[in-house]
Structures are given as structure tokens and as C-alpha cells.
Amino acid sequence: MLAPEKLPSKLIKNSFGDGIFATVFATLTSGVFLTGFALYLGMSEFAIGLLAAMPYAATLFQLPASILITRTGRRKKITVFNAAFGRLTWLLILAVALLPVASPALKIILVLVLIFLSHAFVSISYVAWFSWTSDLVPDRLLGRFFGTRNMINGIAGMVAIVGFGYLLDYLTRNAPDGQIRGFSLIFISAVACGIISVGFLKRVADPVKSEAKYSPTRLADFRKPLRRKNFKFFLTYSMLWNFSVYFASPFFTLYFLRDLGFSYAFVSTMGMISALADLTAMRLWGSISDRVRNKTVIQACSWITVFLPFLWTFVRPGHVVLPVLLHILGGAFWAGIHLCANNLVLRITPREERAICFSLHNILAGIGATAAPIAAGLAIEILGTVDLQLLHPAITPLRLVFVASTVLRLCSLQLLNFVQEPEEIPVRQLIRILRNVRGLNAANGFQALLHPFVEAPVPDKVSTGESKSDGEASKDRSDEVSS
């Protein structure tokens, strides 16, 4: 039986406080608000594709950041400094949008450059934060810790997107220059929340890292993780999966606002529904991933998310029911993928190499996520010059991109079969577990939510019929590499 274990309340309070306000910042500077801001400035589909690619292109900065982290061990300082600057940059972005610039094209270029600079700072802070947090939370509690944290973050994001979405709609309809006033209020609020988040980060302790077995200082040092076949499979899968996903996902909000004519309020409400599904499923996936491991959850959830872009092609202006159903499905099943992807990196990566491997994973996955929206943006602009209505009235450039994304997702998902996680169990075992999931009840169901980090007694071993021997599991760990 596993011994009871819990996390310090101070760590939970400050980490969760950081997560809440950081999520509000991220919500207000991305998604429907960022796409609406881009449309306000007059950006083309290609420029919107560039905008969507920036967070992932910025992951290239994580490689030198991981070297700095390994050499100095100053993860807290690196996190706080870069998080603060990345968030304050949005004041400059707003200033450029408000200043009378003679050329609209010049204004767009300046905004794009500043947004990329913000993403670069935030990307550096993230790799330092993840290495820092992974040393604070025991491996056996990672699923529940991040599951519960992400669930609470989802609530914060849900409140932010709905509240500010309705506010932006109201100002756009009823106030002179209401749209830019709305964006000004949104971005200033985002920066304020970002700085509050930094305040919580400064209160979290930074444990002294154990001496690394190697300290990467040359390009050759980064080849060590790449010698592991399992890690290379995972990197290949991550890059191609991200390409297939981000070939379509950055253009959904554009599809909602421009092609379907949805209001900011309606899109925000859909975001709230998605967030509710996300937070409802997050703790379930966190608990299940601790039992069946991360790869199994990712595989099961991916088979639903593969077909979402294709289903969106059937939505028409004025539809309500289908958008609601698709947001519920997306929120519930993407929750499992987002939670378990990072945890899978930790499971197959040696502790002393986590910063490096995590950076390598983010960079390779970032290459896929960077190339995809740029390629899709170009494709949309090229297809826009063709009269697709001759083929069928319902065919549009965006819908063709969504269909292509579904096909690409189906192909890239097959690569996950070649990745091995220690102690993983097959998807059919996950299905059996889901059948036995019981809802919360008044007698004891809410105890798990009130005390999410107390380890509940569980059997020493889950029988799957295909469990690996200790020697095989040990070999997987020594061969580990993920990202």
C-alpha cells in the first residue's frame, strides 16, 4: 500500500494563486480577444497565421534558457523576471494600437514584433517554472496536483472570458470607439493580473537542485537525449501532431466571428461551456492518469479530438446546439491531452535532464505548431482566389483547412503507438476503469476535492494482463526520454 502523502499548504496556496491570475492574463491576451484585436487592426489570414505561430516559434528561446537553468539553478529568478517582462510588454502593444501611426501596415508589423517579444519572455519563464515545480511535487502526485490546479485555472479562465466577452460586446455596440476602449480595458486588466501572478510566484520556495549528472554546454551535449529511440519517437509524434492540430485550431475563432457571424458574447459563452467541460474532466483525467499512466489517456482522448475539425464544417450561421456539443466534447477530451502531455514528459525523462528534455520537446513540438498556421494561412489566402462555390455552395477555404486537419491528425496519431511509457496499460483497461467511475456523493465524494493531495490507499499493482516486469519497467526508465 502507498503511504499517505500531502503537499505543504503554502505551496498549494501560492502555486494555485499564480495559476489563477496567470490564466486570466493568458485568457485576455489570446483566443477570441486576440483574434478580435487582429481583425480590428485589419490583419489578413496570413498575418493571423503568423500571430498564431508566435507562441510556438518562441519556444526556440527555451534551449538557451535550459542551459542557463542547468548552469545556474536559478529557476525562480529566471521565471519571475521573464514572466514580468512578458506581461508588461502588452502595455507597449496597446500603446502602439492607440497611437496614430500613418501606415496601418507599419502598426501591424510593430504589434506583431511586440507580441512575439512577449511570447519569447513567457516561453523562457515557462521552462524554468516547469523544472522548478516538478521538483516541488512528488511524481506520484503530479496527476492530481496539475489536474486540480488546471481545474481551478479553468474556472478563472471561464469567468474572465465570459465577463470580458460580454463587456466587449456591450462597449462595441453602445460606446463611441467602443471596440478599442474594450480592448484597452481588457489588456490593462490582463497586465494587472499577470503582475499579481508574479507576486504569488515570488512566495514559492525554490529547492536546491541535486547536482546534475551532466551539464550541457555544447551542441553535442543535447544529443544525449536524442540517442534514445523512445524519445525520438515521442519528439516525432509531438511535432507532427502539433502540425496537424494547429493547421486548423488558430482559425476557429476567425471562423466564428467572421464566417458564422457569432458575437463576442456568444463565442465567450461557448468558451465558458468548454471551460466547464474542461474543469469537470480535468480532475477525473488526473486521477485516472495516476492509475493507467499518461500515454493511455492521450490515446483515448485523441480519438475524439481527431474528428472535431471535420464536425465544425457542418456548423452554419444561427446554429446553437451543434456548437455547444462540440465545445463540450472539445473541453472534456482536450483536458486529458493537455494534462497528460507534460506529465508524460516527466514520466519518461530522468530528473536531472528534465529542463533539457522539456526544452527539446517544446522546440520540436513548437516547430510543428509554428509551421502549421503559417502554411494554413497561405493556403486560405490562395484558396480565396479560387471560386470554390462552383464545386459546392458549402465549400469555403476555412472548411477545407478543417478537413485537412482531421486527415493529418489521423495520420500523426498512429505514431504514438511507438512511444513506450513505464508501466503503461492498454486503452481497453482505461475503458473498464471509466465504466466503474462513480459520481460524487454527499457522504464522501467531496472529500477528494477538499483534500486533493492526500494520497489515497491504492493497490500496489494494477493487474492488466500485460503488465511489464520490474526489469522491463526499469529498462524503460533508463531508456527514458520524452518531452
Q: Distance of CA 422 to CAs 145, 296, 347, 387, Å? A: 20, 11, 7, 52
The C-alpha atoms of residue 342 and residue 219 are separated, in whole angstroms, by 24
pLDDT at residue 471, rounded to an integer: 40
Backbone angles phi, psi at 317, to 5 degrees: -55, 135
Rounded to the nearest 10 degrees, how much is the dihedral formed by the CA atoms of 213, 218, 220, 222?
A: 60
Residue ranges and CATH numbers for the domains of the chain are 9-206+222-437+470-478 (1.20.1250.20)
DSSP conformation class of 2: P
- What is the Cα 295 distance to its own chain's centre? 17
The C-alpha atoms of residue 387 and residue 315 are separated, in whole angstroms, by 21
Per-residue pLDDT reduced to its tens digit, 428-474 = 666 666 666 544 443 333 344 333 333 333 333 333 333 343 343 33
Q: Which of 201, 472, 243 is nearest to 374 (CA)?
A: 243
Contact 56, 365 (CB under 8 A): yes
| Mean pLDDT calculated for residue range 30-46 | 93
Share of the chain above pLDDT 90, in %: 43
The pTM of this model reads 0.74
Contact 160, 268 (CB under 8 A): no
The C-alpha atoms of residue 416 and residue 434 are separated, in whole angstroms, by 22
Q: Which of 387, 379, 355 is nearest to 66 (CA)?
A: 355
Q: What is the mean pLDDT of the chain?
A: 81
Per-residue pLDDT reduced to its tens digit, 82-99 = 999 999 999 999 999 988
Q: Where residue 324 falls among pLDDT bands split at 50, 70, 90?
A: very high
Q: What is the DSSP string of 248-261?
A: TGGGHHHIIIIIS-
**Residues listed for the chain:** 483
Q: Which of 78, 84, 80, 77 is nearest to 61 (CA)?
A: 78
Per-residue pLDDT reduced to its tens digit, 356-371 = 787 788 888 889 999 9
Per-residue pLDDT reduced to its tens digit, 195-254 = 999 999 998 887 765 444 445 545 556 677 777 788 888 899 999 999 999 999 999 999
pLDDT at residue 121, rounded to an integer: 94
Work out the end-to-end distance of the chain between its first and last CA atoms, rounded to an integer number of angstroms.
30
Q: Is 223 helix (H, G, I), strand (E, B) or coil?
A: helix
H helices within 391-469, ranges in order?
A: 397-413, 427-435, 447-450
Query: Given the C-alpha cell 521573464, which residue does it identify?
Result: 82
Q: Which of 423, 430, 407 is nearest to 300 (CA)?
A: 430
Per-residue pLDDT reduced to its tens digit, 368-405 = 999 999 999 999 989 887 777 666 667 889 999 999 99
